[in-house]
Amino acid sequence: MDLLEIRQVTKVFGGLTALNEVSFHVKSGNIHGLIGPNGAGKSTMFKNISGFSTPTSGDIFFNGHSIKGRKPSEIAHLGVARTFQETTLFQELTVLENALVGAHKRAKTNIFSAIFNLDRHIQQECMEKTLSMLDFMGLAERKNQLASELPLGSQRALAITIALASEPVVLLMDEPFAGMNPEETRHMMGLTEKVRQSGVTIVLVEHDMKAVMGICDYLTVLNFGSLLAEGTPDAIRHDAKVIRAYLGNTEAM
Ligand SMILES: Nc1ncnc2c1ncn2[C@@H]1O[C@H](COP(=O)(O)OP(=O)(O)OP(=O)(O)O)[C@@H](O)[C@H]1O
Ligand SMILES: [Mg+2]
């Protein structure tokens, strides 16, 4: 089943067409890669899916319903979560506190009622869910460390934990492997697979071709805002158009 359908999406910024009539489908249960050279329009696509930006034309369907023009909070509530290309952690809070901020959003209560000890049973439930989520993501032992003290791999795992607190159906991940060494990348690939196994469909924007080819079921390739190719990792790896677009970087493929 197609969980997400991008239909002829165009996004124009002034004179620049960042997305040009792009269409693709994401199947439920897949890890779907959205790849392409710098400036291809990948993050712009994520912003349009998650409601932080609205397509100039075209439409976006989630579970068969148009979500175009809806607010980010509404889209998140429907089940679309995202992690950002840039880090969005509260550096001066602990791992547990960061994760609790995410959990409180879901529970429609807030961190202040936690501080003042209101809604006690909701707080209790949030705490239990958050601790089990941190355990699932391999962060239980770091729960009292400050976010600023975490190694890169754990910072990214925490950002995913926060996104998962909203219990999403689809998770949009923007460059989760960026800047990682091979060991961190392997660990993050394992976590991504584990999240998919838990029932979350994943759309992955990433430049690390080894990771993309190793983990994705299907790929959509953008170039200069247009759809360049789509197919299985094996088909994409041998696609002449894709190799040309990545010229100078073909070793990675
Ligand atoms: N808010 C904006 N205003 C004007 N131009 C923008 C805006 N956001 C993105 N762009 C432009 O749209 C194009 C696509 O940018 P986008 O960030 O989507 O690329 P990307 O594929 O995510 O690239 P990267 O791999 O470098 O992250 C770029 O030319 C960028 O400069
Ligand atoms: Mg980007």
Q: How far is the CA of 38 from the centre of ligand 2 (A)?
A: 7
Average pLDDT score, the chain: 91
- CA–CA separation, 65 vs 139, rounded Å? 36
CB 192 within 8 A of CB 173: yes
Instruction: Specify the residue with its C-alpha closest to ligand 1, atom 10.
Output: 18
Q: How far is the CA of 250 from the centre of ligand 2 (A)?
A: 20
The CB of 176 under 6 Å from ligand 1? The reply is no
Q: How far is the CA of 44 from the centre of ligand 1 (A)?
A: 6
Counting from 1 in the atom list of ligand 1, the atom nearest the Cα of 225 is: 14
Structure confidence at residue 84 (pLDDT): 84
Q: How far is the CA of 48 from the centre of ligand 2 (A)?
A: 13
State in Å, rounded, how far the first CA of the chain is from the last one: 29
Instruction: Specify the residue with its C-alpha closest to ligand 1, atom 1.
Output: 13
- CA–CA separation, 80 vs 200, rounded Å? 10
Structure confidence at residue 115 (pLDDT): 63
Structure confidence at residue 103 (pLDDT): 79
Residues of the chain short of pLDDT 50, as ranges, are: 250
Structure confidence at residue 86 (pLDDT): 79
CB 159 within 8 A of CB 88: yes
H or E element in which residue 34 lies: strand 31-35
Who's near 156: CB < 8 A, 6+ residues apart? 83, 176, 180, 188
Query: Which mutation among 9, 10, 12, 16 tests ligand 1's pocket best, with the greatest number of atoms within 8 A of CB?
Result: 16
Counting from 1 in the atom list of ligand 1, the atom nearest the Cα of 44 is: 18
Select from 3.30.360.10, 3.10.20.440, 3.40.50.300, 3.30.413.10 the CATH code of 1-79+169-188+200-253.
Answer: 3.40.50.300
Q: How far is the CA of 44 from the centre of ligand 2 (A)?
A: 7
What residue segments make up the domains of the chain, in order of their start? 1-79+169-188+200-253, 88-167
- CA–CA separation, 117 vs 83, rounded Å? 29
Neighbours of ion ligand 2 (CB under 5 A): 43
Q: What are phi and psi of 245, to 5 degrees?
A: -65, -30
Specify the pTM.
Answer: 0.91
Query: Is residue 124 classed as helix, strand or coil in its secondary structure?
Result: helix
Which one of the ligands is nearest to 20 CA? Answer: 1
Strand partners, 230: 220
- Listing DSSP states for 71-105 in one string gives -HHHHHHHTEEEE-SS----TTSBHHHHHHHHHHH
pLDDT in tens, 227-247: 999 999 999 999 999 999 886
- Whose CA is closest to 22, among 50, 52, 56? 56
pLDDT in tens, 128-147: 999 999 999 999 999 999 99
- Whose CA is closest to 189, among 223, 241, 153, 243? 153
- Angle between helix 95-106 and 152-164 (nearest 10): 20
Q: How far is the CA of 166 from the centre of ligand 1 (A)?
A: 27
The CB of 37 under 6 Å from ligand 1? The reply is no
